[in-house]
Amino acid sequence: MRITLRQLSYLIALERHRSFSRAAEAVHVTQPALSMQIRELETELGLSLIERRPRDIRLTRAGRMVLARAEAIEAELRALQAEARRGQGSLNLGVIPTIAPYLLPRALPALRASAALRLREARTEALLADLNAGRIDAAIIATPAPECHEVPLGEDRFLLAGTPALLAQNRGLAPDALDPGALLLLDEGHCLADQALALCGLTRAAQSVDLGASSLSTLCGLVGQGMGLTLVPEIAASVESRAAPGLALMRFAQEPARTLRLVGRKDSPDAALWFEPLAQTLRAVCADLLAEVRKEFP
C-alpha cells in the first residue's frame, strides 16, 4: 500500500474541522470511509497521527509534521492545476540568428508576462531537429516546414545594402541583375544566405569573395566599409543601419521577401493552450516592427 493524495486531503480536512463527521461531510464521503483512510495512512507510516477524544480530535507531533507536508503538496497541486489551465509552463522557444536579435527584444516583455521563457538560438536545421525531439516547444524560422504546424507571422522584405556610391551604381536593378562578384553572403548553412542566392539566381561558386561571416552584423559592417553588397531583411534594417557606419539601404522596385513563421509539432496535445496565443503575440510585434521600418525606410 502507498500513501495517497486522498489520505493527505482527509488529514487536512480533519485538522480544519476537528471532527470526523464534519470532515467527512466536507470531503463528501461517509465518516467510516474517512476513518478507514486515516487508519491506513497511520499504518503505512507506522505512526499515530490523531489523538481521538470523545468530542474533539488533536494531531500528534507526528501528525503535525505530516500535515505540514500534506499542505505543501496540496499547494503544489493547486499551482500545477493553475499552470496547466493557463498553458503557462516553461516555454522553450527556438529562433534563427537572422531573426532573434531584431524580433526578440521587442517581443520579450509580452512573452515573459505570459510564461517562463527559455530561448535557443540556432540555424533552422538544428531547431527543427530539437523541435522534433521535444527539446523545444516551438521555433521562429523563415523557411517552410511542411512537417510542422505552421503559422505565418509577417512578410519580411529584403533591402539592398551597400555604401551610397555602390547603391547608386545598382539603382533600379532586380536582385538577379546584381553583380555576383559584389554580393556578400552569410556562411553556408544560414537560410538567409540560401534565400539570397535563390533570389539572385546564383550559386556559391559564382561569388568571388568567400567571407564565412556567421552574423548579419559582421556582414553589414563589412558592406558599410565598401567591400560589396548584401541583402538585409527589413526587421534588421534599423539596427544594422545604426550599427554600421557607411551603410545605406535601398528598396528594390519589386521587393523580394521571406515569410517569418512560428512552427510547432503537429501532434502536440496541449498546443491549443499556448501556441495560438503565442502566435498572436508574435504577429502583433512583427506588424509593429515592420510598420516602423517601412516608415523609416520608405
Residue 270 pLDDT level (bands cut at 50, 70, 90): low
Same domain, 178 and 280: yes
Q: Cell numbers 521562429 correspond to what residue? A: 140
Q: Among the ranges 32-41, 81-90, 210-219, 260-269, which has the highest mean pLDDT value?
A: 32-41
Pick the residue with more confidence: 187 or 163?
163
Residue 24 pLDDT level (bands cut at 50, 70, 90): very high
For residue 206, the model assigns a pLDDT of 47
Same domain, 49 and 161: no
Same domain, 293 and 227: yes
- In the listed set 86, 107, 136, which residue is the last one of a domain according to the structure? 86
For residue 33, the model assigns a pLDDT of 92
- In the listed set 56, 86, 116, which residue is the last one of a domain according to the structure? 86
Same domain, 277 and 202: yes
Lowest mean pLDDT among 35-39, 54-58, 138-142, 187-191: 187-191
Does residue 205 have a pLDDT over 70?
no
Does residue 283 have a pLDDT over 90?
yes
The per-residue pLDDT for range 208-226, each reduced to its tens digit, is 455 556 688 888 888 888 8
Same domain, 79 and 107: no
Q: Domain of 169: which CATH number?
A: 3.40.190.290
C-alpha 164/C-alpha 225 separation (Å) is 11
Of residues 107, 165, 162, the one with CA closest to residue 138: 107
Same domain, 203 and 124: yes
The three-class DSSP label of residue 51 is strand
Q: Strand 91-95 vs strand 138-141: parallel, antiparallel, or unpaired?
A: parallel
For residue 179, the model assigns a pLDDT of 77
- In the listed set 86, 119, 145, which residue is the last one of a domain according to the structure? 86
Of residues 212, 207, 191, the one with CA closest to residue 258: 191
- Tell me the C-alpha to C-alpha distance, in Å, between residue 171 and each of 12, 147, 160, 227: 77, 40, 9, 18
Same domain, 79 and 154: no
Same domain, 72 and 183: no
Same domain, 167 and 237: yes
Q: How many domains, the chain?
A: 2
Of residues 228, 260, 225, the one with CA closest to residue 243: 225
C-alpha 63/C-alpha 251 separation (Å) is 75
C-alpha 98/C-alpha 236 separation (Å) is 8
Domain of 189, in residue numbers: 91-298
Same domain, 39 and 110: no
C-alpha 14/C-alpha 23 separation (Å) is 5
Same domain, 23 and 101: no
Same domain, 250 and 215: yes
Residue 191 pLDDT level (bands cut at 50, 70, 90): confident
On average, the pLDDT of the chain sits at: 84
Q: Domain of 77: which CATH number?
A: 1.10.10.10
